[in-house]
Amino acid sequence: MNGGIVVWLLLGLSVVALSVSLLKAWQLYRTQAKPVDAIEQAFGFLQQGKCSQALLLVNGQRNYRALLVSSAVQLIDKSGMAIDDIKDEVYRQAQLAIAQLNSYLRVLEVIATLAPLMGLFGTVIGMIEAFKAMEAAGAQVNPAVLSGGIWQALLTTAVGLAVAIPVSMLNSYFERKAEVEAQAIQNDLQRVFTLYASANTSTAKGKVSAMPSDTE
């Protein structure tokens, strides 16, 4: 293939980037809340003191927000742990969820940075070879041969940019999705603890009573 091993390497990077992008798209799809407004409905039940109905909506979902809301509510309602310990545990789980959302994005970032550099490297090597051939030909230089060597050298830069541009756009998209989801997770957990605080203002400091329930 014109462009040599550099083009093959770039094509290999494009396959890796495509695989990672499909994996991230599948991860985002399968972790959507179902129904879409399930979490908001759950908070509506929590505000009414109906914990069991809220848990029915968020339990068993793959959505990270639903999982963390469920974990926080159950720890507050049943664990008997101090509120500070519950916060530490829930935020630890949130950090793991956010790490999952950001998984493999580093691969896309590296490919987006490396691809144009590899293309430029291939072009430099190709130009060196073209000028070496021109020097060896001396006065018998054929312009057609020289121009053919130059376009083949420039091909690697074009391939590198063709790989880097869409990968960079996909990486930015997935990073933004992960950032929005992380902000939503933090907001959800703060809402849970705010509801707890407003419902338990008379509870002894540092101790946790059950969340207000629909049985009361």
The list of the chain residues with pLDDT below 70 reads 1-3, 79, 137-149, 200-216
Q: Which residue's entry shows tokens 């933004």?
A: 176
Query: Cβ atoms within 10 A of the Cβ of 213, count?
Result: 11
Calpha distance 122→174 (Å, rounded): 30
Calpha distance 189→192 (Å, rounded): 5
pLDDT at 207: 47
pLDDT at 144: 64
Nearest CA-CA partner of 13 in 128, 136, 152, 110: 110
Map residue 2 onto helix, strand or coil.
coil
**Torsion angle of alpha carbons 57, 84, 96, 64, nearest 10°?**
10
pLDDT at 213: 53
Nearest CA-CA partner of 16 in 109, 123, 140: 109
pLDDT at 76: 84
Is the bond leading into 35 cis (omega within 30 degrees of zero)?
yes
Q: State the DSSP H helix or E strand holding residue 125, giving kind and residue range, or none if neither.
A: helix 105-137
Q: What is the pLDDT of residues 17-30, one digit of tens each?
A: 999 999 999 988 88
pLDDT at 142: 66
pLDDT at 139: 65
Note the Cα 164 to chain centre separation in Å.
18
Query: Cβ atoms within 10 A of the Cβ of 175, count?
Result: 15
Check if the beta carbon of residue 190 is closer than 8 Å to that of residue 90.
Answer: no
Q: What one-character-per-residue DSSP string does 62-117 give?
A: --HHHHHHHHHHHIIIII---HHHHHHHHHHHHHHHHHHHTTTHHHHHHHHHHHHH
| pTM to 2 decimal places | 0.79
